[in-house]
Structure 1
Amino acid sequence: MESEILTRGLLYLSLTLLGVPGNSIVIWAFVRLAYQERHLLPADAIVLHLASANLIVVGVRCLLESLATFQLSDVFSDTGCKAVIFLYRTSRSLSIWLTFVLSAYQCLSTAAPGSRWAAVRALAARNLGCIFLVLWLINTSMSSAAVLFSLSSRNNSSLMQHGINVQFCFVHFPSKLSRDANGAAQVSRDVLPMALMTTASLIILFFLYHHTHQVKSVHKSTCSRGGSLSSERRAAITVVTLVTLYVIFYGVDNGLWVYTLTVKETMSSSVVSDLRVFFSSLYAAVSPFVIIVSNKKVKKLLKCELEEKLLLNTETALSSV
């Protein structure tokens, strides 16, 4: 196996080993929490949906790419390429928009009770299911080009005039105009939530700074509201961290995508495409660990589960003596 292929396979395998368990743990924690408490807070429901989208990103792209690279399994026929690229693009864009929804909801949480923005937050919480449905419909429709133009690289190596090489598959467009239009639509779909969530994060940071300054100047406020402030700050910092990761990883991803569209020589090379997939999947693989480390509910559930297992193993060991 060539060193380039081996390196590629190991990179995708590392993302798989990070992303699949990490997102699975987050999903398990919030599903269990929903079962125990009979409901989820809106922010927790958004995080659960985000982890589900990230799991699909890592599962359908990184895991399958790893298996194909090491020749363990290969689903990249014409039909397989259409399915994989469609699911990857849909879940990838869902991950982006759900990160924006999470940052926007946290931003609205800073609004004063009884204000217009607080009413918007309450309205969003009541209609969260509709928001998820609209995001699914928009992103699946915008990923439909993958179903129309994706082909297996094994049988279609000659169709690269207006195509993009994604290692095991080609995305072959009928014309340069259709390729550039699809590329522009994808960039716009990513840049818009990037701008919006960056704005929301700046508002959150400003609120945290202003609130902390107020608390420092009034010692009694610190004593009476310390717990609430700590929880509020922790949730805000989590969101800002996720947005920062998104801006870094997807910023590189979109920069490479624009480079792919504008430099003709990159059309036939899969290296740039591999880098794009790596950086966009890196967010899906790393973000669950930010959630696990910063979310008290998830940490508490994991701690209880670990203690139960240790207690069970101890009792089993004692009974066998």
Structure 2
Amino acid sequence: MTFGNVAVGLVFALQILLGLLGNCSLFFHCISLHFSELRVRPTGVILRHLTIANSMVILSKGITQTMAAFGVREFLNDLGCKLVFYLHRVGRGVSIGTTCLLSVCQMVTISPWTSIWAKHRDRAAQNTEHYTVLTWILSMSFNLMVAVHISGNSESKNITKRRIIGYCSVILQHEIAASLHTVLLSIPDMLYLGLMLWASGSMVSMLHRHKQQVQHLHRACVTTRASPETRATQNILILVSTFVTCYTLSSICHLCIVLSKNPSWLLVNLSALLAASFPTVSPFLLMSHCSRL
């Protein structure tokens, strides 16, 4: 076991520790607000599901990557590999979907009463739980195809039809099939990403218009502190830019692995590290930039 393996194993172990600490803190904070308030906040419901999905992503890949980095070989059979990759994909899909739902919920909440979204505000708040459950169902159903193409390295399959990616293998018949499979799995993520960017852009536009309308009030009160609209806009941009950056880098690494005949050890570990980067960082961003969740 080389120094590089030990370093990678420690990095994954630290990511697991920080990720679970942040998501558990956010989860119990949402639970405490749920029992202390008279009404259920839609954002609290979404954040509870988000923390569960984030924890699934961190644990499904983090533990296995840590074991592989510390030299444990062939610790997963065919069923184990299918289960780990399936749970990772489901958790990742729900994490992206609930983050998108959080952006849309915030956009509907801050929309003015003259907006077309104002009439849907109460209905959206009442059906938040149904939307999050639907996100789980869609992710669990859509990612069933992942289990078909994953197997353990110790399984007796034709080596020409499988591509080893660390402790498991991907079974694909042709390069075109690999590309189509990757594109197909990326369709829901692209839809969530587009919807999130639209909702975030709408929120920034609403806050900017509101800031202009009350600008004379801010001028009357001489202060060096940023206005609430400016702080809210900064929080939105920080969360969305972090998500887009982590997701883009993770997708690029994943695409390189799929298209590569023999993915390098460094590329496989970097892809797993980036895949859990947003689930690890997002709870800290949400807790530090939101005075009231």
Scaled to the shorter chain, the TM-score interval is: 0.7 to 0.9
Distance, in Å, in 2 between the alignment partners of 1:55 and 1:234 is 28
Shift of 1:175: 4.1
Q: Which amino acid aligns with 1:90?
A: V
Task: Report the 3-state secondary structure (helix = DSSP H, G, I; strand = E; otherwise coil) of the residue aligned with 1:90.
Answer: helix
In 1, are the aligned partners of 2:68 and 2:166 still within 8 Å (CA)?
A: no
Q: Quick check: 1:100 aligned with 2:100?
A: yes
Distance, in Å, in 1 between the alignment partners of 2:149 and 2:168 is 10
Distance, in Å, in 2 between the alignment partners of 1:39 and 1:72 is 49
* CA RMSD across the alignment: 2.8
Aligned residue among 269, 272, 289 for 2:267: 272
Task: Report the 3-state secondary structure (helix = DSSP H, G, I; strand = E; otherwise coil) of the residue aligned with 1:154.
Answer: coil
Aligned to 2:205: 206
- The C-alpha deviation readout for 1:198-227, integer Å capped at 9, x for no partner, is 22222222222222222222459979xx9x
Aligned to 2:129: 129
Shift in CA distance, 9/168, structure 1 to aligned 2, threshold 3 Å: same
Aligned to 1:251: 248
Q: Quick check: 1:21 aligned with 2:21?
A: yes
Q: Which moved more, 1:25-34 or 1:81-90?
A: 25-34
Q: Which moved more, 1:194-203 or 1:134-143?
A: 194-203
Shift of 1:104: 1.3
Aligned to 1:313: none
Q: Which moved more, 1:76-85 or 1:7-16?
A: 7-16
In 2, are the aligned partners of 1:99 and 1:242 still within 8 Å (CA)?
A: no
5 Å matches for 1:214-233?
214-219=213-218, 230=228
Task: Report the 3-state secondary structure (helix = DSSP H, G, I; strand = E; otherwise coil) of the residue aligned with 1:171.
Answer: strand
Q: Which moved more, 1:77-86 or 1:105-114?
A: 105-114
Q: Which amino acid aligns with 1:106?
A: Q
Shift of 1:116: 2.4
Q: Which moved more, 1:284-293 or 1:197-206?
A: 197-206
Distance, in Å, in 2 between the alignment partners of 1:75 and 1:39 is 47
Distance, in Å, in 1 between the alignment partners of 2:75 and 2:33 is 35
Task: Report the 3-state secondary structure (helix = DSSP H, G, I; strand = E; otherwise coil) of the residue aligned with 1:213.
Answer: helix
Mark the structure with the bigger radius of gyration.
1
Q: Quick check: 1:281 aligned with 2:279?
A: no
Distance, in Å, in 2 between the alignment partners of 1:271 and 1:156 is 26
Shift in CA distance, 209/164, structure 1 to aligned 2, threshold 3 Å: farther
Shift in CA distance, 220/6, structure 1 to aligned 2, threshold 3 Å: closer
Shift of 1:279: 1.1
Task: Report the 3-state secondary structure (helix = DSSP H, G, I; strand = E; otherwise coil) of the residue aligned with 2:9.
Answer: helix
Instruction: Give the % identical residues.
Output: 23
Shift in CA distance, 42/76, structure 1 to aligned 2, threshold 3 Å: same
Shift in CA distance, 221/39, structure 1 to aligned 2, threshold 3 Å: farther
5 Å matches for 1:292-303?
292-297=287-292
Aligned to 1:116: 116
Shift in CA distance, 177/294, structure 1 to aligned 2, threshold 3 Å: same
Q: Which moved more, 1:182-191 or 1:20-29?
A: 182-191
Q: Quick check: 1:30 aligned with 2:26?
A: no
Aligned residue among 280, 284, 291 for 2:286: 291
In 1, are the aligned partners of 2:179 and 2:258 still within 8 Å (CA)?
A: yes
Gaps of 5+ in 2: none
- The C-alpha deviation readout for 1:289-320, integer Å capped at 9, x for no partner, is 1122123347xxxxxxxxxxxxxxxxxxxxxx
Distance, in Å, in 2 between the alignment partners of 1:222 and 1:142 is 53
Aligned to 2:152: 152
Gaps of 5+ in 1: 299-321
Distance, in Å, in 1 between the alignment partners of 2:151 and 2:78 is 5
Shift in CA distance, 221/116, structure 1 to aligned 2, threshold 3 Å: farther
Distance, in Å, in 2 between the alignment partners of 1:50 and 1:89 is 14
Distance, in Å, in 2 between the alignment partners of 1:70 and 1:157 is 26
Aligned to 2:166: 167
Shift in CA distance, 37/221, structure 1 to aligned 2, threshold 3 Å: farther
Shift in CA distance, 109/146, structure 1 to aligned 2, threshold 3 Å: same
Number of matched residues?
Answer: 290
